Amino acid sequence: MQAAIALATRGLGRVWPNPSVGALIVAGEGEGEDAGRRIVGRGVTARPGGPHAEVSALRSAGEAARGATAYVTLEPCSHYGRTPPCSLALVEAGIRRVVIGCLDPNPRVAGRGLSMLREAGVEVLAGVEEEAARWLHAGHNMRVTAMRPLVMLKLAVSADGGIGRPGDGQVAITGPEARALVHGLRARYDAILVGIGTVLADDPELTCRLPGMGSRSPVRVVLDRQARLPLTSRLVRGAADVPVWVIAGHDADPERVEALTGAGVLVIRVPPCERGIDPLVAVTALANRGITRLMVEGGAQVAASFLDAGLIDEAFLFTGQPSLGPGAILPFAGRPLAALTESPIYRLAGTSRHGADRLMRLARKEI
């Protein structure tokens, strides 16, 4: 199952609104110690309309699938959609046993996949490496159950706890190794979100610029109540290549909205709030458009609003070498990093070094 989960991560950020499922077909189980287990088929969810992971794995296995065991990270589907049910495909291929990471909360599945398999005489074992599988599919599960995506916050803080200096624009805090990791992270999320303040100050591209991974850039999302995103910004100029969505208030200037739309930007209108755009309203709007995994990158105000709304599910927190000195901007609009790291709802998921920089990963204790 661990191998199936690792395989499934290849599809993260590429197959939304579907979950990225990993499937392995293993022959030789239950045939005695000398038979030897061997992987005869592999599959990952294709883009919408393409084959699901189970079908791809069965195709690669061919006749070797008969009598074999299928390891699947998420409960196989049991309904007809763009593709036939995967549970039926497993049965028809002669799979003897199916091992499942976690169940699918989608009401169209939700145990029906297991029932279809068992009724056909297939042995089913569910809940193997369940916690890892649930984290893998957390974006899908949350979109189904809470109509919002999984939210990951990325922050880079200086040695003295700042994220920038007022009026200085973008400040380099981390080195090339950490920045490369961030670009790789972007490729694993469906969308990346910043506030309009970050765009006006830094004019970012928000793309994945690792060699050979330009096509893996996520949808770029800007919280922008008044639709102020400049038509000359890098985001708008690149909207034909990588989608740009602006979440604006119903009270935004219609001419600005029309201009952005004409430049290839999708403008999503939502009810505004006193602070601008309510983050819960924003993530709900994104989930309605299929986003399952959201990376939040920018701005102390945006970070604070997501923290206060209880929407941060995981965090990648980089600490660089520079010190920004007195008056530095704190990560959460006047509050230090401890506002997140000392919260009892998170656990330490890991630490690592990337060049001279340190990375701390936090994850919600219950997901």
Binding site annotation covers 303? yes
Binding site annotation covers 308? no
Binding site annotation covers 226? no
- Residue 54 bears catalytic tag: yes
* Rounded (5°) CA angle 136-141-143: 120
Indicate the DSSP class of residue 277. Answer: S
Query: Of the listed 54, 75, 129, 314, which one is catalytic?
Result: 54
DSSP alpha helices (H): ranges in the chain?
2-8, 53-61, 86-92, 112-119, 130-136, 138-146, 176-186, 196-202, 234-237, 254-262, 279-288, 300-308, 338-341
Burial class (CB in 10 A: 0-12, 13-18, 19+), 128: middle
Tokens describing residue 282: 């924003």
Binding site annotation covers 104? no
Binding site annotation covers 86? yes
Binding site annotation covers 179? no
Contact by Cβ (8 Å): 208, 186:
yes
Give the Cα separation of 241 and 219 in Å (integer). Answer: 10
Binding site annotation covers 77? yes
Binding site annotation covers 206? yes
Binding site annotation covers 299? yes
Residue whose structure tokens are 């920038």: 164
Binding site annotation covers 208? no
Binding residues for Zn(2+) are 52, 77, 86
Active site residues: 54
Q: Which residues are annotated as a binding site?
A: 52, 77, 86, 156, 186, 198, 202, 206, 209, 297, 299-305
User: Which residues are documented as binding site for NADP(+)?
Assistant: 156, 198, 202, 299-305
Residues annotated within a binding site for substrate: 186, 206, 209, 297
